[in-house]
Amino acid sequence: MILTDEKALRIKCSDVLPEEVDEIREALEKELDQSAKAGSPGVGLAAPQIGIPKRMSIVRIDNIKIDLVNASIDKAFDEVIFENEGCLSFPGRVERTKRFREVHILDNMVEPRGFIATGLLAVVCQHELDHLRGVLLSDVAIPVEPEKKSKKLRPNDPCWCGSNKKYKKCHGKIS
């Protein structure tokens, strides 16, 4: 089962041993498949998301299959705003994030020489590697700016922050 509790997702992960790779990969693929069958398809999953405190995640985008084992990002280029980034641990939630268009991934047990990821693959790799450090979607989300001051929000309007709460119950709350 994919964890949704923030505290549980912020666990410290230890390195994966070579003999653990296959078992963790199978568990991750099984959960990713079950999530898709339940109507929540995803393109990546990290071991901490299924309660395994190990530095491994998988990326499955169409015919691209990458296992990130004890990997890290060495270099990152071309910072961009990525719209609608989601996470299987927070179903239905999407955020605007700041990511890099290109990342160089090193120390990957599966690809020891490393590799370069670009575009969506780069974003997914950054997201999954964040999980291995206890960094969650909410940590990298860009706060939504309120609309121009000329538009006054009424108490029952949706809050400008995207919380899906009424303004009066969120940022319009009187302390």
d(CA 114, CA 143): 33
Nearest to 88 by CA among 46, 119, 125: 46
128 is a catalytic site residue: yes
> How far is residue 83's CA from residue 42's CA, in Å, rounded to a whole number?
16
Annotated catalytic residue within 79, 111, 128, 145: 128
Distances (CA, A) of 65 to 13, 62, 112, 138: 22, 8, 16, 26
Nearest alpha-carbon partner for 76 in 98, 57, 101, 59: 101
Active-site residues, by number, are 128
